[in-house]
């Protein structure tokens, strides 16, 4: 094998034209390193293999070599003179190394070799100069699977350390006033004894990045300090050392963040108030604008606590501030800050309480106060920030599990004797308890409140709508409470000052993932429209924009608009505002042209019958006026066309009364009264000539009721004629025409009014002929002779 590899590489030799042999003892002069203008760089030569060699490379190795490198150009002539012997030997060594690696790659790796390779790769990724690199989750899981779950291995402990660091950072970044009671138990679930350095570093970094959250971080540290005092002490020590270094470097920002954190730790009684007195004395000893500003900020935060626990320190500090205000040469802005501080003290720190009520979570007797001074020798234990291999890793983890169970109340707290007694008692009373078991139902809605809190915190802690949707789908919703998720999304959206598209995208994604969410959001639309009058104007506007987004993106069906009935009787001012904003949001999102086409879709007409009513002209006009007033008149073209082509209303037909003896007697009496009255005034229509009495021609000179009854009789007599002809009416004077027309129109009577001929306007007192009387009058009046 070695012979074959040696023969496979040809060493460079001088050209034959030089007259020098390779074995001669003459020494060659070194070639010039600067290439001449005519000389080109040498080309690489291919490796030649001795045909007499016993060993030939395997086909697999040949294929892998051909894939990794392209074939080199063949050169049969000697190498140029400027290629020295050292470079040729180095190439030979590298070629042998590559051959060995290729031979080793062809052999299948054992499980031990695979695990060793995975450990080496994982160690290389974690110990890079950049402090680590991003590893895809699939690749990381594969490496972890190859490494195995051996707690005694360094790689397994390193993975556990990285997971611990990531978990602590995530919990600290999520904490706020509302969820601190739930974050702290999760924090105790991590090994804070091993990761106390990580905890202190992470919380200091988070506090420096967001100073308004300092009271929350201090409250969290106060809770942890009651159970793990070494964590609170380490944090106080690191903050003191950080303040010292920043004060020496004149780093105002770091000094401000350190003193603010220490002030709130003093308020929570994690640190002693003497530490604040020492810091204030140091800052005010040689006052400058920056030092006085930092001291003012520290005193505003810790002033109430100091005056409550040690008023002498407060008096000394304020005396120093007073002397600085009158004697020291400081800027006007700094002087104003000191004056404001005195005003805050005068107001008894009403805007700067030492501990807010919602953050007062630790009893005073349970708190442990650390008396670390500013000038003490302090050990910050920087080695706790980095990973170190622990030979007793399993034992330490088991010890912390017991401590965690004790802290969180998960420990059994029972001895072996107690267990034996409980076993005996349970065996004796097993039957009794089986009978006494009662199903307990929580009627206080605690589970529902917790579910809503979980949904709210999940929404508010998400960075994007995709992340939020993924987290919401992972929530375990109890059966029958699925509708709480859409309801909470709409409620969270309505609580904002303005509409946030983040919530609309969440609802859209949920509706397009599962049909169940689509139906629940459609039900929410109907519910919120029915109860929209309960919301104030701003929340009403946001809810309308939210559902407008869902409709414009087709996340919910447009058939939900059937719940809207746009008329004067079924709408209120709130519902009309909701409809206005909803339509405007649709027009803004999909465009007015597309909205108009969608509203004219034949498939949607049954659902749009309520918002575009054509059942009643009154409702149609109301809808037209509404859409015209909000600038959407183009949507009312169909209703306008319908209103234009709507048939005119017809008068209802008078009911036909069946003839009876009482009706006939009443009619006869009416005719007698009319005849007597006409005879009195000399206008008896029966005395007129026959050509003027065609089909019961009447002369109007009597009371309107009698006239109306006579006209109705004529109309009832002509009911077999279709259409019935107008009843002819004659009047004696021209002035009676207008009065008669008003009466006929008021009573919806169709008649033809004409003036009485001139020759018939004279009074005639002779009785009318009997053949002109109605049949009913012939037997009921004796004044008229029979025929």
Count of domains observed in the chain:
2
Are 214 and 297 within one domain? yes
User: What CATH number does residue 616 fall under?
Assistant: 1.25.40.180
Q: Given pLDDT bands bounded at 50, 70 and 90, which one contains residue 208?
A: very high
122 is a domain residue: no
Residue 12 Cα distances to 2, 44, 88, angstroms = 20, 11, 7
Q: Residue 155 corresponds to which tokens in the numbers above? A: 């790689």
CA distance 27 to 211: 77
Are 335 and 237 within one domain? yes
240 is a domain residue: yes
What backbone torsions phi and psi does residue 299 show, to the nearest 5 degrees? -70, -35
Q: Given pLDDT bands bounded at 50, 70 and 90, which one contains residue 786?
A: very low
545 is a domain residue: yes
Are 315 and 196 within one domain? yes
Q: Of 643, 665, 693, which residue is a domain's last? A: 643
Are 357 and 455 within one domain? no
Are 361 and 502 within one domain? no
Q: What 8-state DSSP symbol labels residue 78? A: P
Compute the radius of gyration of the chain from its Cα atoms: 52
For a pLDDT cut of 70, what percent of the chain falls above it? 64
Name the nearest CA neighbour of 266 among 213, 326, 212, 310.
310
380 is a domain residue: no
- pLDDT tens for 357-394 read 899 989 888 889 999 999 888 888 888 888 888 888 88
758 is a domain residue: no
Question: What number is the average pLDDT over the span 476-492?
Answer: 91
Are 365 and 470 within one domain? no
Are 360 and 507 within one domain? no
Higher pLDDT, 422 or 174: 174
- pLDDT tens for 43-102 read 444 444 444 444 444 444 444 444 444 444 444 445 445 457 888 888 888 888 888 877
Are 338 and 216 within one domain? yes
3-state secondary structure labels for all residues of 535-598: CCHHHHHHHHHHHHHHHHCCCCCHHHHHHCCCCCCCCCHHHHHHHHHHHHHHHHHHCHHHHHHH
**What is the pLDDT, as a whole number, of residue 446?**
83
Are 221 and 308 within one domain? yes
537 is a domain residue: yes
CA distance 161 to 385: 10
Q: Of 325, 345, 373, which residue is a domain's last? A: 373
Are 465 and 336 within one domain? no
CB-based contact 352:296 (threshold 8 Å): no
Q: Of 619, 643, 667, which residue is a domain's last? A: 643
Question: What number is the average pLDDT over the span 661-673?
Answer: 61
CA distance 206 to 261: 11
**What is the pLDDT, as a whole number, of residue 123?**
67
- pLDDT tens for 294-332 read 999 999 999 999 999 888 899 999 999 999 988 878 889
- pLDDT tens for 129-184 read 544 566 677 777 776 676 667 778 787 888 888 889 999 999 999 999 999 989 99
81 is a domain residue: no
Q: Which domain holds residue 592?
A: 446-643
Are 336 and 452 within one domain? no
CA distance 216 to 203: 11
Are 369 and 457 within one domain? no
188 is a domain residue: yes
């Amino acid at each position: 094998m070695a012979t074959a590899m040696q023969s496979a590489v040809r060493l460079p030799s001088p050209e034959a034209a030089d007259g020098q042999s390779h074995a001669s003892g003459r020494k060659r002069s070194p070639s010039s390193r600067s290439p001449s203008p005519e000389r080109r760089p040498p080309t690489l030569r291919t490796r030649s293999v001795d045909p007499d060699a016993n060993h030939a490379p395997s086909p697999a190795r040949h294929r892998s070599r051909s894939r990794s490198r392209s074939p080199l150009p063949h050169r049969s002539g000697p190498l140029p003179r400027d290629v020295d012997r050292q470079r040729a030997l180095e190439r030979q060594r590298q070629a042998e190394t590559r051959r060995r690696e290729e031979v080793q790659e062809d052999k299948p790796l054992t499980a031990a070799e695979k695990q060793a390779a995975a450990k080496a790769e994982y160690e290389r990724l974690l110990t890079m100069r950049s402090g680590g690199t991003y590893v895809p989750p699939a690749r990381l899981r594969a490496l972890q699977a190859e490494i195995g779950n051996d707690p005694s291995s360094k790689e397994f402990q390193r993975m556990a350390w990285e997971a611990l660091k990531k978990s602590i950072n995530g919990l600290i970044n999520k904490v706020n006033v509302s969820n601190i009671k739930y974050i702290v138990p999760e924090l105790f679930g991590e090994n804070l004894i091993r990761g106390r350095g990580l905890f202190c570093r992470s919380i200091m970094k988070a506090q420096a990045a967001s100073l308004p959250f300092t009271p929350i971080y201090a409250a969290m540290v106060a809770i942890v300090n009651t159970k793990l005092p070494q964590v609170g002490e380490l944090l106080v020590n690191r903050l003191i050392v950080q303040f010292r270094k920043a004060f020496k470097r004149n780093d105002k920002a770091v000094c401000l963040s350190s003193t603010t954190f220490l002030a709130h730790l003093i308020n929570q009684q994690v640190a002693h108030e003497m530490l604040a007195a020492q810091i204030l004395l140091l800052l005010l000893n040689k006052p400058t604008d920056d030092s006085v500003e930092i001291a003012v900020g520290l005193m505003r935060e810790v002033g109430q606590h100091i005056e409550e626990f040690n008023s002498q320190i407060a008096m000394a500090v304020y005396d120093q501030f007073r002397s600085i205000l009158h004697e020291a040469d400081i800027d006007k802005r700094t002087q104003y800050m000191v004056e404001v501080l005195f005003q805050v003290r005068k107001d008894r720190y009403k805007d700067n309480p030492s501990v807010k009520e919602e953050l007062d979570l630790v009893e005073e007797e349970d708190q442990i106060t650390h008396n670390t001074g500013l000038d003490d020798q302090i050990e910050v234990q920087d080695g706790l920030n980095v990973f170190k291999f622990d030979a007793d890793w399993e034992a330490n983890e088991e010890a912390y599990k017991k401590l965690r169970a004790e802290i969180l109340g998960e420990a059994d707290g029972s001895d072996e004797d107690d267990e034996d007694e409980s076993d005996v008692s349970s065996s004796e009373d097993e039957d009794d308890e089986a009978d006494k078991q009662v199903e307990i139902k929580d009627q206080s809605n605690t589970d529902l409140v917790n579910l809503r809190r979980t949904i709210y915190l999940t929404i508010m802690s998400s960075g994007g709508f995709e992340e939020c949707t993924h987290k919401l789908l992972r929530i375990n919703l109890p059966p029958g409470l699925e509708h709480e998720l859409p309801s909470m999304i709409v409620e969270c959206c309505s609580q904002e000052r303005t509409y946030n598209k983040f919530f609309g995208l969440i609802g859209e994604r949920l509706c397009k993932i599962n049909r169940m969410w689509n139906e629940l959001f459609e039900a929410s639309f109907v519910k919120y429209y029915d109860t929209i009058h309960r919301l104030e104007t701003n929340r009403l506007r946001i809810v309308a924009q939210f559902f407008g987004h869902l409709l414009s993106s087709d996340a919910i069906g447009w058939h939900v608009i059937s719940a809207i009935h746009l008329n004067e009787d079924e709408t209120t001012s709130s519902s009309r505002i909701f409809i206005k904003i909803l339509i405007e949001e649709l027009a803004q999102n999909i465009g007015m042209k597309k909205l108009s086409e969608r509203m004219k879709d034949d498939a949607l007409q049954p659902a749009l019958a309520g918002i575009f009513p054509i059942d009643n002209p009154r409702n149609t006009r109301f809808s037209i006026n509404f859409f015209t007033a909000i600038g959407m008149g183009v949507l009312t073209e169909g209703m306008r066309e319908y209103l234009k082509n709507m048939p005119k209303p017809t008068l209802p037909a008078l009911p036909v009364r069946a003839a009876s003896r009482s009706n006939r007697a009443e009619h006869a009496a009416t005719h007698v009264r009319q005849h007597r009255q006409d005879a009195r005034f000399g206008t008896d229509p029966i005395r007129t000539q026959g050509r003027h009495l065609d089909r019961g021609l009447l002369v109007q000179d009597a009371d309107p009721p009698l006239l109306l009854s006579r006209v109705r009789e004529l109309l009832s007599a002509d009911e077999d004629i279709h259409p019935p002809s107008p009843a002819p009416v004659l009047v004696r004077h021209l002035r009676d025409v207008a009065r008669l027309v008003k009466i006929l129109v008021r009573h919806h009577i169709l008649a033809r009014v004409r003036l009485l001929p001139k020759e018939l306007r004279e009074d005639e007192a002779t009785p009318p002929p009997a053949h002109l009387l109605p049949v009913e009058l012939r037997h009921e009046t004796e004044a008229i002779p029979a025929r």
